[in-house]
A and B are shown apart, each in its own frame.
Chain A
Amino acid sequence: MRGLRRIDAFFAKAEQVLIVIVLTAMLLLAFLQVLLRNAWDFGLPWVDILLRHLVLWLGIMGASLATRMNRHIRIEALTRFLPARHQRLVERGVLLFAAAVSTFLGVAAVDLVRQEQGTGSMAFGPVPTWMLQLVLPVGFAIVAFRFGLQTILPNEPAGGTGGGGTDR
């Protein structure tokens, strides 16, 4: 079990580092593009395509971290009225369901990448589209893993790296 937690923490570290790199690159590229387009009336078309894919990458990594930190948007209209013991039971069921759905989404993502590989389409320059889509299967696999982990080992703070919440 501790091994699983360690894997989870390793993913989180990698995600945080990648997020900082990707967001920095995005900021620089987007700003550069504005400068080029407005000062010299000259845009690089591949930058726009890359930027939009970087948003997808950021989004999936952010969602994966949100799973770890238990920060996904939820509506808890019914469970509020349940006694604590039942709440925990419902929560386990919810996590198991979430793990299952994420697994299916991950499988669908693998299919998507395979299909795209088959068509051999290029996103820009030498970069094939499927490579940019890889974040989807990998991301959903990690999300499914985390929901699964939380189903087995609930009620322990996911804290540690990254800190949960805006505590100011």
Chain B
Amino acid sequence: MIWIIVGLGAFTILLGTPLFVGVGGMALALFAAAGISLTAVMLEMYRLVSSPALIALPLFAFAGSLLAESRSATRLVALSQAWFGWLPGGLAIVALTASALFTALSGGSGITILALGGLLYPMLLSDHYSDRFALGLVTTSGSLGILFPPSLPLIVYGLVSQARIDHLFIAGILPGLLLMLLLALYASIVGARARLPQRPWDPRVAWTTLWEAKWEILLLPLILIGIYGGFFTAGEVAAIVAAYVLVVEVFIYRDLSLTRDVPRIMVESTVLVGGILIILGTALGLTSFLIDQQVPMRLLGIFEQTITSRTVFLILLNLFLLVVGCLMDILSATIVFVPLILPVAKVFDVDPIHLGIIFLANLEIGYSTPPIGVNLFLSSLRFNKPIITLYRASVPFLVIYLIALMIITYVPDLSLILLR
């Protein structure tokens, strides 16, 4: 019975039913079939209010939307250009750095391609990077900052898994840096081979761009020291960051008007949060039912012959998440699958924090994976290129992402060492 209902629900979702409807429908049907009152579904949804870090979600989302609508993208690009433009493959590294900063601060993928891609892509072309390289770079780095705090996927993973969000923030730093380092290395090699022009290092420009972007750059130490130093919880940091960004963008940079822009952005970010929260709420009912029925463990039982060790489990997890990542966005995939995989991961002694980093690094790749990774479609729309061109452009970058994923998955210390 469980399988029929889950199968039908999955089918409606693949037909384009809003995810929360598919998930909520499954939950209702499963509870009804088991003779449990449907009120239980709502009770589970209401359970959302018991997570202390819940407030981090709307506040960081609001701060992110403010940043995305301000001119911070331009400032971050100018800053990265002044500081990294002199390296071989400099402009490519600039693009990587600016994208990672912007994604982490604005909290979501997608926005980065739209906000930064339009700036970076013509810059890369005018510096004589090949069209394919430039497209691949801009497309795949649209999700690069997801492992850095305070990205929304890290927060949502924390809410779903009950892992400490401040620990997740710290755990993502080294894996995120590794990913950037590998991509930067590749860009340098491409840049050096093609003998692309390097800009001279100009300390004056470096200083003025830093000064220009100082209020936004200050966010990084604010978040890192606040959390790493143990001064604030994730929810408190969210309150500070949201208030800070509001003041900076409205009163200091004056990029946004308090009366014209801010209410609109509030509604905009709340629609985003609402879309996530309602899936989170309905999924709580569904996953708690499935876990109650021991479904993850039963699945594990079926595959007992195959999954003999932790390594096999991790390999299968990687493959599974690659497929899921192509189909679903990171947030919904996290909400739906983390609760089901968490108990199995415990059996194989995978640390929940490490599991979170694996999840996000893995799902992030799916964003740019042909045939239906969403970054490819965003880029195709934004730069007016056929989707096939983007498939080819993203391949070398995907290879690097996969190498990084292997290291992140099979070297848990990379994620956990800063927490010891």
A residues neighboring B (CB under 8 Å): 16, 19-20, 23-24, 26-27, 30-31, 33-34, 37-38, 48-49, 51-53, 55-56, 58-67, 69, 71-80, 90-91, 93-94, 97-98, 101-102, 104-105, 107-109, 111-112, 115, 133, 136, 162-163, 166, 168
Chain B residues with Cβ under 8 A from A63's Cβ? 20, 274-275, 277-278
The answer on a CB contact under 8 Å between B111 and A166 is: yes
The answer on a CB contact under 8 Å between B275 and A66 is: yes
Q: List 10 A-B residue pairs with CB atoms under 8 Å apart, sorted by A's residue number.
A: A19-B270, A31-B242, A58-B273, A61-B270, A62-B274, A66-B275, A76-B16, A97-B25, A101-B25, A105-B282
B172 to chain A, nearest CB (A): 23
CB interface residues, B 43-70, toward A, < 8 Å: 43, 45-46, 48-52, 54-55, 57-59, 62, 68-69
The answer on a CB contact under 8 Å between A101 and B274 is: no
The answer on a CB contact under 8 Å between B17 and A115 is: no
Q: How far is the CA of A58 from the CA of B55 in the complex (A)?
A: 11
Q: How far is the CA of A48 from the CA of B50 in the complex (A)?
A: 10
The answer on a CB contact under 8 Å between A30 and B25 is: no
> Does B42 sit at the interface, judged by CB under 8 A?
yes
Chain A residues with Cβ under 8 A from B264's Cβ? 162-163
Q: How far is the CA of A143 from the CA of B115 in the complex (A)?
A: 31
Among A55, A79, A133, A136, the residue within 8 A (CB) of B57 is A55
Q: How far is the CA of A34 from the CA of B222 in the complex (A)?
A: 14
The answer on a CB contact under 8 Å between B19 and A74 is: yes
Q: Known contacts being A59-B278, A64-B274, A97-B17, is A20 close to B55, with CB within 8 Å?
A: no
Give 18 A-B pairs besides A72-B21, A78-B15 with Cβ atoms closer than 8 angstroms.
A20-B266, A24-B266, A30-B55, A34-B239, A52-B52, A53-B49, A61-B270, A65-B274, A71-B271, A73-B18, A73-B276, A73-B329, A94-B16, A98-B17, A102-B21, A105-B28, A112-B42, A168-B69
Among the 9-residue stretches B33-41, B94-102, B297-305, the one with 4 or more Cβ atoms under 8 Å from chain A is B33-41
Q: Interface on chain A toward B: helix, strand, loop, or mixed SS?
A: helix
Q: How far is the CA of A30 from the CA of B278 in the complex (A)?
A: 22
Q: Which of A59, A102, A107 has the most CB of B within 10 A?
A: A59
Q: Known contacts being A52-B55, A55-B49, is A74 close to B270, with CB within 8 Å?
A: no
How many of chain B's residues touch chain A, expressed as a range?
Answer: 35 or more
The answer on a CB contact under 8 Å between A108 and B54 is: no
Among B21, B111, B243, the residue within 8 A (CB) of A101 is B21
Which residue from chain A places its CB closest to the CB of B27 in the assembled complex? A105
The answer on a CB contact under 8 Å between B39 and A56 is: no
A41 to chain B, nearest CB (A): 13
> Does B355 sit at the interface, judged by CB under 8 A?
no
Chain A residues with Cβ under 8 A from B139's Cβ? none
Q: How far is the CA of A67 from the CA of B236 in the complex (A)?
A: 31
The answer on a CB contact under 8 Å between A90 and B69 is: no
> Does B175 sit at the interface, judged by CB under 8 A?
no
B residues neighboring A (CB under 8 Å): 12-21, 24-25, 28, 37-39, 41-43, 45-46, 48-52, 54-55, 57-59, 62, 68-69, 111, 114-115, 231-232, 235-236, 238-240, 242-243, 246, 263-264, 266-268, 270-279, 281-282, 327-329, 331-332, 372
Chain B residues with Cβ under 8 A from A107's Cβ? 38
Among A31, A55, A112, the residue within 8 A (CB) of B243 is A31
The answer on a CB contact under 8 Å between A136 and B45 is: yes
Q: How far is the CA of A140 from the CA of B231 in the complex (A)?
A: 39
A100 to chain B, nearest CB (A): 8
Q: How far is the CA of A167 from the CA of B264 in the complex (A)?
A: 13
Q: How far is the CA of A65 from the CA of B277 in the complex (A)?
A: 13
B395 to chain A, nearest CB (A): 22
Q: How far is the CA of A48 from the CA of B270 in the complex (A)?
A: 20
The answer on a CB contact under 8 Å between A61 and B28 is: no
Chain B residues with Cβ under 8 A from A78's Cβ? 14-16
Q: How far is the CA of A10 from the CA of B329 in the complex (A)?
A: 32
Question: 9 smallest A-B Cβ distances: which pairs?
Answer: A62-B274, A59-B277, A30-B239, A72-B18, A63-B274, A63-B278, A62-B270, A112-B42, A111-B39
Which residue from chain B places its CB closest to the CB of A136 in the assembled complex? B42
The answer on a CB contact under 8 Å between B238 and A65 is: no
The answer on a CB contact under 8 Å between B115 and A62 is: no
Which residue from chain B places its CB closest to the CB of A69 in the assembled complex? B271
Chain B residues with Cβ under 8 A from A38's Cβ? 231-232, 236
Among B38, B49, B268, the residue within 8 A (CB) of A111 is B38
The answer on a CB contact under 8 Å between A90 and B270 is: no
The answer on a CB contact under 8 Å between A108 and B28 is: yes
B214 to chain A, nearest CB (A): 22
Among A24, A93, A109, the residue within 8 A (CB) of B42 is A109
Q: Which of A30, A31, A61 has the most CB of B within 10 A?
A: A30
B243 to chain A, nearest CB (A): 5
Chain A residues with Cβ under 8 A from B272's Cβ? 62
